[in-house]
Amino acid sequence: MEVPKTVRVPVHYALTKLSILDRLTARLSYCVWLFSRLIGEHDMDVDGYGEFTREDMARIAKLTKLSSGYMQQCRDQALWMWRSYRAQHQDWERRLRRAKGRWREKLLRREPKKPFHSGLMRKIPVRIDSRCLDCFL
């Protein structure tokens, strides 16, 4: 049985550790964005772990300078985002086929957006599990 736990790191704003955490979360978000872009460009199957090649993984590791545990977390997050998008889009298409009149117009405005659709990159919370706990000990 898997139990999700939240790691809370107490940080005082006067310390420099906040900048370290800020840089780490920015690199994690950038890594998720890179994986998401690869999934979108190659229209990958997101049911498993994706079809990322070693060259893709090496290039992302070089760009983000993250360890393999963090890279796996980012990959999992990107795959989850795309799975969620595709499930929402299938549901939306099913509803659109049945809709008529004004309700159809409302549904057309509510089409689900792809992950990172607007190009804006906001920080994404990445779940940290036992693959990355050695960093906190």
- The verdict on residue 79 lying in a domain is yes
Q: What is the pLDDT of residue 16?
A: 56
- The verdict on residue 70 lying in a domain is yes
Q: What is the pLDDT of residue 70?
A: 86
Number of domains the chain contains: 1
- The verdict on residue 39 lying in a domain is yes
Q: What is the pLDDT of residue 137?
A: 45
- The verdict on residue 65 lying in a domain is yes
Q: What is the pLDDT of residue 9?
A: 65
Q: What angle do CA 23, 24, 25 make, to 5 degrees?
A: 95
- The verdict on residue 52 lying in a domain is yes
Q: What angle do CA 21, 23, 27 make, to 5 degrees?
A: 115
Identify the segments of the chain with pLDDT beneath 70.
Answer: 1-18, 48-50, 118-121, 128-137
In angstroms, rounded to a whole number, what is the distance separating the alpha carbons of residues 59 and 65?
10
- The verdict on residue 62 lying in a domain is yes
- The verdict on residue 37 lying in a domain is yes
Residue range(s) defining the domain that contains residue 23: 17-84
Q: Is the dihedral of CA 24, 25, 30, 33 positive or negative?
A: positive
Decide: pTM greater than 0.85: no
What is the rounded average pLDDT for all residues in the chain?
A: 81
